[in-house]
Amino acid sequence: MAKIDFKEKLTSENDILAAELRKQFGEDDLFALNLVSSPGSGKTSLLERTLSELGSQLEMGLIAGDVQTENDADRLIRAGGKMVRPIVTNGACHLDAKMITRVLSSFKLRALDVLFIENVGNLVCPSSFDLGEDMKVVLISTTEGDDKPLKYPAMFRRSSLMIINKIDLLGHSDFDLERVKKHARQINGEIEIIELSCRTKEGLDDWFSWLKENVRHKQSMPA
């Protein structure tokens, strides 16, 4: 699934739909993020924290993709999400632009500052499917291996920001913070990096600042 010929990709239905989505997000001054990671790295926890801390400052729309269950969407609604839509892929290993287009008709995009798209937990396949997002954000947690950027390079190459979650658990494994940062920069010299813990809240302010700064930047751009 992740092996797609470049020419084929350019002309694929997904890319045409993704381009339309990107145009729409631009017209609506909407900052759209595609959150990708392994299962269990903390995408939903990060969004829960973001909703409860920034809910009064930013209007957020959330799409929660999962192979099965609407558990993540339910968690986001409980955390205060007012515009949350689940996408259950029924076995498919990634979200695609068509799924986003379909669910987006129920959003009032004009009213939103940010759209979070929480992809299926999978470090491989989602890297090949453009969803029209402004940026991909890849999460990695300190309980995974610190060689993940080298082992899943496409995902780290295509991400603008790497969030290292669960820094409260540093020391409980051989995970080396400097090594993972070195590996990520080796794959992608431009990648930004934020370290945090959704559990203890350490570092969350860096993420909130990054997010607000990028929303401001998007809204200041000519459509």
**Biggest CA-to-CA distance, the chain:** 47
- Which C-beta is closer to a second copy: that of 31 or that of 152? 152
Q: Which of residues 134-153 bind a second copy (CB under 8 A)?
A: 141, 143-145, 147-148, 150-153
Which x/- pattern, by CB under 8 A, does the window 151-190 give for a second copy?
Answer: xxxx-----------x-xx--xx-----------------
CB of 135 to a second copy, least distance (A): 21
Binding mask 5-34 for a second copy (x = CB under 8 A): ------------------------------
Phi and psi dihedrals of 115, rounded to 5?
Answer: -120, 120
Q: Which stretch binds a second copy (CB under 8 A): 78-86, 96-104, 116-124, 131-139?
A: 116-124
Task: Give the range of 8-16, 91-99, 201-209, 215-223 binding a second copy by CB under 8 A.
Answer: 91-99
Least distance (Å) from a second copy to the CB of residue 59? 27
| Nearest distance in Å: CB 164, a second copy | 13
Q: Which of 24, 66, 41 is nearest to 223 (CA)?
A: 24
β-strand 83-88 against 135-141: which pairing, if any? unpaired
Q: Does 53 bind a second copy (CB under 8 A)?
A: no
Residues making contact with a second copy (CB under 8 A): 1-3, 38-40, 44, 66-69, 71, 90-93, 120-125, 141, 143-145, 147-148, 150-154, 166, 168-169, 172-173, 199
